[in-house]
Chains A and B, each alone.
Chain A
Amino acid sequence: MRAGQSLRGSELRRMEGSRFNTGQLLLVISTIILVITVVLPVAMIVYNVFFYNWSFDWSLFASMLTDPDNLAAMWNTVKISFFVTTLGTVVGLFFAWLIGRSDIPLKGLMKSLFVIPYMFPPFIGAMAWGLLLAPRAGYINKMFMALTGGRTPLFNINTLAGIVFVELCYYFPFVFIQVSGALERMDPTLEESARIAGANQLTVIRRITMPLVVPAIAAGAMLILISSLSHFGVPAILGFSNGIFTLPTKIYELIYRASGSFEGIRQGASLSILLVAVVVLALALQRRVLRTGRYDIIRGKSMRPMLIKLRGWKAPLLAVCFVFLIVTVILPLFTIFGVGFLKAYGVPMKLANMTLNNFKYVLFESRMARDAIRNSFFLSITSAVITMLVGTMIAYVIVKIQPRGKGVLEVLGILPYSIPGIVLAVGVILTWSGAFYLNLYNTIWIILIAYIARYMAFSMKSASASLEQVHDSLEEASRTCGASHFESLLDVTLPLIRPGMVAGFFLIFLPAMRELTTSLLLYGPFTRTMGVAIYSINEEGYTVQACALAGVAIIIIVIGELILRFVTRERRGQ
């Protein structure tokens, strides 16, 4: 036995005690952070809607609820979400099945192409479609009118159907990704045994494959539903001009019209409660649907599934895939960059009309654009770093230390999922503009706080996932090798979750770079973000400059996405 090992009782007690306290301490810190960033804004909304000068008063809420304009907005929200969800599910399912179970060529390429819409900021897509299909000025409509010689446009994008179409293009990957994953994990022998039992390929799809991917479909459909319920960008860009409002855009409009007055914010807050109620209802529905059908289908030898031979259908279906990709990805992309290079909006897209001036303008000349790029980088990097670190800490508490009361943390952590960005922004305004002796309004910090609250759930989820991969025995092994709890954390756990943390960073950085909703309510004169800048330049009618800035944003996002892929691929190799 080595000397110095026999510690006295008091030291031991302290050591035992200190470890116990580390857990408790981390729990307390984590809870405080979540309460401040997440719970407080929500509480402030509820308080400000139902209380006035410290006394209960629900007249405001009642009047908001009976206002026909607001009811129309709610009805629009429900209609849009319904159609986006139904159509998005059908589209996602179709492509997932085509790639997962048929012998269609170029699968790898298509798989990566189909998730591109997922990273494309929908409001930039909406801008692009506006440029193409605005009733009079849209390029496609103009071409159509020139061809037919008439005055009726091909399609008016500034309608509910237009909004549904654009949201659909960017939200179907939710179902696509979920179902593709389920099909990949599904034991192929489940389908093979049906074949052996005498069922032909179509029967197998109908009777076996489809029922088994129902949970995945439901999960993806709910993601679409919740996203489109709380979605702001597309209806804002396509709907305002035609007087079409949804709940999120109505909330924005109320606050914007009142130019930040307290009354306007209270009205916005009232609608926010309505919106949250709708979303919570949808989430509750999701829980129910998912509970009824949780199958364990991830089993079996890794055999290649039997692929359905498309034979004569191969070429037409491949064409459908590519047309769809061209419409959802290539066309908007081409439009944004194309218009970004134009001397003025409206002129034909010819080389003679092209110029680099717009890019020069947004990158070097416009103070606002430059500020916006800088602000977005600052906000995205800072919020990603902070959220990633704090999220990892909270996840460590939940997954590894497992103190009593971790359930509270879990609930608080996923709460922001059910709070739409616009609502969170309202709450942040109510909380951080002087209510607690701290007025951050018009500063960049208020946006940072909102981002942190918004992305905490992402970070916790990705950190939990990578921590769960690190089996307890790995840390225990290093304890028995002579490393203290802290040293084990440093030498074993941290290096093992590092790739996960890097991926987590990008999972926050990327959406933060293209964020619009929250920033739009919180920005001040010098704290525009890239999303805000694109939106306001566009609203002010400087279309070509807005497109140039959007092009810059897309390039940044694509680079980020490539880095993320590289990082996660490396992790898979281990």
Chain B
Amino acid sequence: MAEVRLDRITVQYGKKTAIEDFSLHVRDGECLTLLGPSPCGKTTVLRAIAGLTKLCSGEVTIGSRVVASRDRKIFIPPEKRNVGVVFQDYAVWPHMTVEANVLYPLKKRNVPRKEAKEQVNDVLRQVRMADYAARLPFQLSGGQQQRVALARALVASQDVVILDEPLTNLDANLREEMRFEIKRLQNETGITVIYVTHDQDIALVISDRIAVMDKTGSIRQLGAPEELCGNPADSFVYRFLGLSNFIPVEIVDGEMWVRDIAGAGGGADTEPTSFPYPVPAGMHNRQFYAACRPMDIAMSRDGADGGAATCGTCGTCWTHGTCGTHGTHGPGETRESLRGRVARVIYLGNIYEYRVRVGGIEIRVQQDSHEAFKGSTFCEGDVCALSIKDIRYYEDVEEVS
């Protein structure tokens, strides 16, 4: 086990700067994910740690050992860094059996044969590949090759294992299974894991902490999954962590209105639509965005029942856009709800998804079909009222890919 420190590192490929002045501290025994769109330099960070790329400046420390430093002219080659790596394409050697693949790191370290065999058997059992020890890689499925690569990395290092998008080539079911598997192995071995991915679902499952990186290769936010979801630093992080709506709004006469965006294809609904929520403090411009998750929007029949909607603060019932107890808008105050028309209904089994046209924009609403069937489902063309909980306001929307 070891901590990993990157201190202001810069890496260039030819004239292209992949990452610049990048610092990161991975704690001993944690699973840290570098999450970002491709390409954002996250693989470069990983290669710098493993020693597969040289630094232009800065310093990499693993445990108490400086493994790369431009200023001090240190470069420990990858074979002496004691870092296990699982590559995106697995890189299982096709000419060696599963056992030989996993045995190889131990052989290179001159571990006595008997001891090495035992260790290999152990780790193969851990990744549930013990029955396949004598197979050659081409006889294995993608997921099995993945496990072999994982086993080999675990044998190669008891300190740090780096995984480079190892699940992208697997099909959905296997991906789901493997992410829990990786988490389980990390819990069992207590090894430091650095995981690189662009898939936020995987990141949320396996990480103790997540570093969200943007396209320029700088870290936007670093924190535990709950922290990131509960308190995203900016619109980039917000968008990257899940499905989102960004509703353009503007302040007119102290009230918020849904802003018409030219070319959004509105057409029919061009009358001004009020955005019936309290004006947030601390926005610098008159125009900004209200962000919300599709799952956090409740739909009700306008003026009919509205029973399904709940207040964002106290969780009690809204009626006609009014919170039964107090809401965020003070007790007794009546507000109009956000009104729209259902443009599209998409049934996804466990989820009902609606696209609701509000003013000139389209808002994505998702309901658990379990809940949806309890209330009533909507049809295309229905008028509805939306109540949103957990709104965040951002000055701008950043593209994430």
Contact with A along B58-90 (1 / 0, CB 8 A): 000001110000001111111111111101110
Pair B138/A574 contact, Cβ less than 8 Å: yes
Contact B95 A495 (CB under 8 A): yes
- Distance A67 CA – B108 CA, assembled complex (angstroms): 70
Contact B78 A479 (CB under 8 A): yes
Bound form: Cα–Cα A522–B260 in Å: 85
Tell me the interface secondary structure of chain A in the complex: helix
CA distance A218 to B76 in the complex (A): 51
Q: Which of A10-18, A33-41, A149-157, A529-537 contacts B (4 or more CB under 8 A)?
A: A10-18
Are A480 and B75 in touch, CB under 8 angstroms? no
Please indicate the chain B residues that have their CB under 8 angstroms from the CB of A19 in the complex: 77
A6 to B64, CA, bound (A): 10
Q: Is A482 an interface residue (CB 8 A)?
A: yes
Which of B63, B77, B109 has the most chain A CB within a 10 Å cutoff?
B77
B74/A9 in contact, CB under 8 A: yes
From residue B343, how far is it (CB to closest CB) to chain A in Å? 33
CB atoms of A477 and B76 under 8 A apart: no
Q: Please, how many angstroms separate the alpha-carbon atoms of A16 and B63 in the complex?
A: 22
> Chain B, interface size: which category?
35 or more
A496 to chain B, nearest CB (A): 6
B152 within 8 A of A: yes
B79 near A473: Cβ-Cβ < 8 Å: no
With CB as the reference atom, state the residue of chain A lying closest to B87. Answer: A473
Minimum C-beta distance from B158 to chain A (A): 10
CB <8 Å contact, B74 and A479: no
Do A1 and B82 have beta carbons less than 8 Å apart?
A: yes
Q: List A contacts of B78 (CB < 8 A).
A: 476, 479-480
Chain A 143-182 interface 0/1 with B at a Cβ cutoff of 8 Å (1 = within): 0000000000000000000000000000000000000000
Question: Which residues does chain B contribute within 8 Å of A487, judged by CB atoms?
Answer: 79, 108
Q: In chain A, what residue has the closest Cβ to B14?
A: A404
Quick one: closest B residue to A485, CB to CB?
Answer: B77
User: In the complex, which residues 280-329 of chain B have their Cβ closer than 8 Å to any Cβ of chain A?
Assistant: none
Q: Identify A481's interface contact among B52, B94, B156, CB under 8 A.
A: B156
CA distance A491 to B74 in the complex (A): 27
Within 8 A of A (CB), among B1-41: 2
Max chain B CB contacts within 10 Å: which of A1, A478, A484?
Answer: A478
Report yes or no: A496 in contact with B77, Cβ–Cβ below 8 A: no
Q: Taking the complex as formed, is A200 at the interface, i.e. its CB lies under 8 A from any CB of chain B?
A: no
Q: How far is the CA of A112 from the CA of B181 in the complex (A)?
A: 49
User: Quick one: given A476-B52, A481-B108, A492-B93, are A9 and B73 in contact (CB under 8 Å)?
Assistant: yes
Knowing A480-B156, A574-B138, say if A496 contacts B76 (CB, 8 Å): no
Q: A1-B63, A495-B95 are in contact. Are A480 and B76 (CB under 8 A)?
A: no
Q: Is the CB of B82 within 8 A of A477?
A: no
Tell me if A479 and B52 are in contact (CB < 8 A): yes
Query: Are B72 and A471 neighbours in the complex by a CB distance under 8 Å?
Result: no
A340 to chain B, nearest CB (A): 44
Quick one: which of A12, A480, A485, A574 contacts B74, CB cutoff 8 A?
A: A12
Min CB gap B246→A, angstroms = 36
CA distance A487 to B74 in the complex (A): 22
A12, B109: Cβ atoms under 8 Å? no
Across-interface contacts of A5 in B (CB, < 8 A)? 65, 76, 80, 82
Name the one of A12, A471, A491 contacting B91, with C-beta atoms under 8 angstroms.
A471
Flag whether A562 is at the interface (Cβ < 8 A): no
Tell me if B277 is interfacial: C-beta within 8 Å of chain A: no
Given A479-B52, A480-B50, residue A9 in contact with residue B72 (CB < 8 A):
yes
Q: A481 CA to B81 CA in the complex, in Å?
A: 9
Do A574 and B94 form a contact, CB below 8 Å, given A1-B64, A473-B87, A477-B87?
yes
Q: How far is the CB of B150 from chain A (nearest CB, A)?
A: 12
Query: Given that A5-B65, A9-B72, A12-B73 are known contacts, is A477 also in contact with B93, CB under 8 Å in the complex?
Result: yes
Q: Are A7 and B65 in contact (CB under 8 A)?
A: no
Question: Is B104 an interface residue, CB under 8 A from the partner?
Answer: yes
Q: Nearest A residue to B136 by beta-carbon distance?
A: A574
Distance in Å from the Cβ of A493 to the closest Cβ of chain B?
Answer: 10
Complex Cα distance, B109 from A482, in Å, reads 7
Inter-chain CA distance A491–B105, complex, in Å, is 12
* Neighbouring A residues of B104 by C-beta, 8 Å: 478, 481, 483, 491
Given A12-B73, A483-B108, A484-B79, is A477 in contact with B65 using a C-beta cutoff of 8 Å?
Answer: no
A474 within 8 A of B: yes
Cβ of A16: which chain B residues have Cβ within 8 Å of it?
A: 75, 77
Using CB atoms, name the residue of chain B closest to A4.
B80
* Best-buried of B72, B85, B88, B149 by chain A (most CB within 10 Å): B85
Q: State A478–B149 Cα separation when bound (angstroms).
A: 11
Query: CA–CA, A458 to B309, complex, Å?
Result: 74
Please state if A480 and B83 are interface contacts (CB–CB under 8 Å). yes
Question: Can you name the residue of chain A whose Cβ is closest to the Cβ of B84?
Answer: A480
Residue-wise, chain B 172-198 has the 8 Å CB interface mask toward A (1 for contact) of: 000000000000000000000000000
**B residues 86-119 touching A (CB-CB < 8 Å):** 87-89, 91, 93-95, 104-105, 108-109
Q: How far is the CA of A483 from the CA of B91 in the complex (A)?
A: 15
* Partner among A6, A13, A476, A496 whose Cβ is within 8 Å of the Cβ of B87: A476
| A54–chain B nearest beta-carbon distance, Å | 44
A484 and B77 in contact, given A1-B82, A477-B85 (Cβ under 8 angstroms): yes
Is A482 in contact with B93, judged by CB distance below 8 angstroms? Answer: no
- A473: chain B residues within 8 A (beta carbon): 87-89, 91
Question: With a CB–CB cut-off of 8 A, which chain A residues contact B72?
Answer: 9
Q: Which residues in window 460-492 of A have CB below 8 A to B?
A: 471, 473-474, 476-485, 487, 491-492
Q: Which of B74, B79, B87 has the most CB of A within 10 A?
A: B79
> Which residue of the partner chain, among A1, A9, A479, A491, contacts B77 with CB atoms under 8 Å?
A479
Q: Enumerate chain A residues within 8 angstroms of B153, measured Cβ to Cβ.
A: 480
Closest residue of chain A to B75, judged by CB? A16
Give a binary string over B387-399; 1 marks a CB under 8 Å from any A CB, 0 the rest: 0000000000000
Contacts of B89 in A (CB 8 A): 471, 473
CB neighbours of A495 from chain B (8 A): 95
> CA–CA, A483 to B95, complex, Å?
17
Query: A474-B91, A476-B78, A476-B91 are known contacts. Are A482 and B73 too (CB-CB below 8 A)?
Result: no
Q: Please, what's the 1-or-0 string for B112-133, where 1 marks a CB less than 8 Å from any CB in chain A?
A: 0000000000000000000000
CB distance from B393 to the nearest CB of A (A): 44
Cα–Cα, bound, A496→B65 (Å): 35
Say whether, besides A480-B50, A481-B104, A474 and B73 are in contact (CB < 8 Å).
Answer: no
**Chain B neighbourhood of A2, CB < 8 A:** 82
**Contact between B93 and A474, CB atoms less than 8 A apart:** yes
Closest residue to A487 on the B side, CB-wise? Answer: B108
- Is A6's CB under 8 angstroms from B93's CB? no
Contacts of B2 in A (CB 8 A): 1
The distance in angstroms between the C-alpha atoms of A574 and B88, with both chains bound, is 21
Question: How far does the Cβ of B2 sit from chain A's closest Cβ, in whole Å?
Answer: 8
Give the CA-CA distance A492 to B79 in the complex, in Å. Answer: 14
The complex places the Cα of A574 from the Cα of B149 at a distance, in Å, of: 19
Question: Could you say which residues of chain B place their CB within 8 Å of the CB of A477?
Answer: 85, 87, 91, 93, 149, 152
Which chain A residues border B80 with CB–CB below 8 Å? Answer: 5, 7, 482
Contact B156 A482 (CB under 8 A): yes
Smallest beta-carbon distance B167→chain A, Å: 16
Please give the distance in Å from B356's CB to the nearest CB on chain A: 38
CA A15 – CA B81 in complex, angstroms? 14
Complex Cα distance A16/B87, Å?
24
Known: A5-B65, A9-B74. A480 touches B79 (CB 8 A): yes
Q: A7 — which chain B residues lie within 8 A by C-beta?
A: 76, 80
Q: How far, in whole Å, are A231 and B30 apart by their CA atoms in the complex?
A: 69
**Nearest 3 A/B pairs, CB to CB:** A482-B108, A481-B105, A473-B91
CB-defined A-B contacts under 8 Å, sample of 12? A1-B65, A5-B65, A16-B75, A473-B91, A474-B91, A477-B85, A479-B79, A480-B52, A481-B84, A481-B105, A483-B104, A574-B138
> A480-B156, A495-B95 known; 6 other A-B pairs, CB under 8 Å?
A1-B64, A2-B82, A12-B74, A479-B51, A480-B83, A481-B79
Residues of A within 8 A of B (CB): 1-2, 5-7, 9, 12-13, 15-16, 19, 471, 473-474, 476-485, 487, 491-492, 495-496, 574
